[in-house]
Amino acid sequence: MDTIKNFKYKKVSKFLEDSEITLLKDYCRIQHRINMSGFDTQQMPNTLDTSFYGDPLMESLLINKKNKMQELTGLKLLPTYAYWRMYTKFADLKKHSDRPSCEISVSVNIGGDGTPWPFVVEDNSIDLEPGDAVLYLGCELKHWRDEFQGDHLAQTFLHYVDANGPYKEYWKDGRLKWGQGKIPTNIRKNFNPKE
């Protein structure tokens, strides 16, 4: 059977259903307007982007897309966490690979003002329409985005690990519950979520 370990990345058209796109796009716009999270500037300094780690709605999507992700990857997966961001004008995403909790990732275009903004994986530029996604090996492949020229674009990232792989201990990203914020590293080291 062909697994993601063989093909490394691929575009998935219509990863989201139309009703999911509508719900998530409205949700992200509302959250961006009230900006309850503050700003996450680690990867993208000098922007007004809104970002949420462990957002309950996105984590529900993470759990509900697990079977689809298993079909697409050919692997048994454990969900780790969801993260979403509303990108704004001049945002960029520096070339990087991800931490172990992002072994198998999917970046999903929720929608925005219609300005194209390709997702680049290993020098291959991939255009995404709302509802489309890029499935990729996050820890292994370098990925990035050049500077965004539009007004806004919402994107969610759903992260999983191979249930039989070297990162399986990152299930739930070391947290006790879905929708919970990050657990401090000193606590996470001694935490086994399967106990």
Return the pLDDT at 47.
56
Q: Environment class of residue 119 by beta-carbon count within 10 Å: exposed (0-12), middle (13-18) or buried (19+)?
A: buried
Return the pLDDT at 59.
96
pLDDT in tens, 37-86: 444 444 445 457 888 899 999 999 999 999 999 999 999 999 999 999 99
Return the pLDDT at 180.
83
E strand segments, 133-195: 133-136, 143-145, 152-162
Kindly give the parts of the chain with pLDDT less than 50: 36-44, 46, 186-195
Q: % helix / strand / coil in the chain, to the nearest 5?
A: 25, 30, 45
**CA–CA separation, 132 and 71 (whole Å):** 16
Nearest to 2 by CA among 103, 73, 69, 78: 73
Cβ atoms of 93 and 183 within 8 Å: the answer is: no
